[in-house]
Amino acid sequence: MIRKDKTNFFLILPAILFLTAFLILPLIILLLMAFRSSGNSIVIDDTLTINNFISIFKNQSFYSGILNTLKLSAIVSIVCIVLAYFPALTLVKTKGNTKTLLYVVLLSPMLTSVVIRVYSWIVILSSNGIINQSLMKLHLIKSPLSLMWNSTSLVIAFVQVLLPYAIIFISNSLTKIDNNLFRASNSLGASALYTFFHVILPLTIPGILSSFTLIFSLTAGSYITPMLIAGHQKQVMALTIYQQAMQIMNLPMAAALSVVLLLVVILTIVITNYLGRLWEVRVYGK
């Protein structure tokens, strides 16, 4: 067995080395950078300081940024999870070519670049976009409606991009449910809604938690979508970090903000997963 595990270790080694060089090392550099004094970005002196963090927590706009991020990520995750049940339930019941077709529809947005997907919402929502053009041609409105640059359009774009993940997680959870449970619940006279809330929902808690974890983290970390859809109207942390690094060129500050964002995301995910476990325990007992 020892010889076998040695071989296995050598198989995993390339991944470990690669991840160390291109995930751990960059994160360490990021962490060190967060404690460098900010200001001059080209010459960064070697003394370590917590000044970056102090000025972050003193700044009012930081709190609105973090609140925006948390709110946006939570709303996107919840909307995705709720909506995911409809296609997921349909998906587990279909077979053959229909299923392939549904999968293609479902996954096609996931397989095109996020830039393209967000761009298509610009084509739809912008002032000379499709909705406004159509409404104006129909003489329903005189001047273009302002559909972009607000949080609703941001949520719409995020949900369209991330919904497939939730559908996959929820339908994976659903396929694990014994079909007899549905039949039992049905034959005992339970309505479809009752079956959903008392059988399906509790059994898909793991799917809900995985969806929340992934979607929350992806939303909180995305700077591309807010940059393209909301511009500077809606300041989220990911975008602030991007601007600090690329426009203001304050690398230590961007690093410090990244560390804070990472901690906030991890904390939220840990808390939600803990609450989810509690919910599961309440449903099943221990």
Judged by CB under 8 A, the chain residues 203 through 262 that form the site for another protein are 213-214, 217-218, 220-224, 228, 237-238, 241-242, 245-246, 251, 254-255, 258, 261-262
Indicate whether 19 belongs to the interface with another protein (CB under 8 A). Answer: yes
Pick out residues in 65-94 that bind another protein (CB under 8 A). 83, 86-87, 89-90, 93
Question: How far apart, in whole angstroms, are the C-alpha atoms of residue 147 and residue 129?
Answer: 10
Q: Provide the 10 A C-beta neighbour count for residue 209.
A: 21
CA 3 to chain CA centroid, Å, is: 41
By rule CB under 8 A, what string of x and - marks binding of each residue 138-177 to another protein?
Answer: ----------------------x--xx---x---x-----
DSSP state of 236: -
CB of 265 to another protein, least distance (A): 6
Residue 103 or 279 having the CB closest to another protein: 103
Question: How far apart, in whole angstroms, are the C-alpha atoms of residue 82 and residue 107?
Answer: 18
CA 178 to chain CA centroid, Å, is: 30
Residue 140 or 283 having the CB closest to another protein: 140
Indicate whether 130 belongs to the interface with another protein (CB under 8 A). Answer: yes
From the list 17-25, 50-58, 59-67, 273-281, the region that binds another protein by CB under 8 A is: 17-25
φ, ψ of residue 36 in degrees (nearest 5): -85, 150
CB of 86 to another protein, least distance (A): 4
Q: What is the largest CA-CA distance in the chain?
A: 77
CB of 239 to another protein, least distance (A): 8
Indicate whether 59 belongs to the interface with another protein (CB under 8 A). Answer: no
From the list 9-17, 59-67, 146-154, 272-280, the region that binds another protein by CB under 8 A is: 9-17
Pick out residues in 95-124 that bind another protein (CB under 8 A). 99-100, 102-109, 111-117, 119-124
Tokens 């005992």 identify what position?
188
Long-range contact list for 117-126, CB < 8 A, 24+ apart? 117/157, 117/160, 117/161, 118/157, 118/161, 118/224, 118/225, 118/228, 118/229, 119/228, 121/153, 121/156, 121/157, 121/160, 121/229, 122/148, 122/228, 122/229, 125/153, 125/156
Pick out residues in 31-50 that bind another protein (CB under 8 A). 33
DSSP state of 223: -
Contacts of residue 49, defined as CB under 8 A and 6 or more positions apart, other chains included, come to 35, 36, 37
Residue 50 or 104 having the CB closest to another protein: 104
Question: How far apart, in whole angstroms, are the C-alpha atoms of residue 220 and residue 215?
Answer: 8
CB of 12 to another protein, least distance (A): 4
CB of 270 to another protein, least distance (A): 13
By rule CB under 8 A, what string of x and - marks binding of each residue 171-210 to another protein?
Answer: -x---------x--------xxx-----------------
Question: How far apart, in whole angstroms, are the C-alpha atoms of residue 16 and residue 227?
Answer: 34
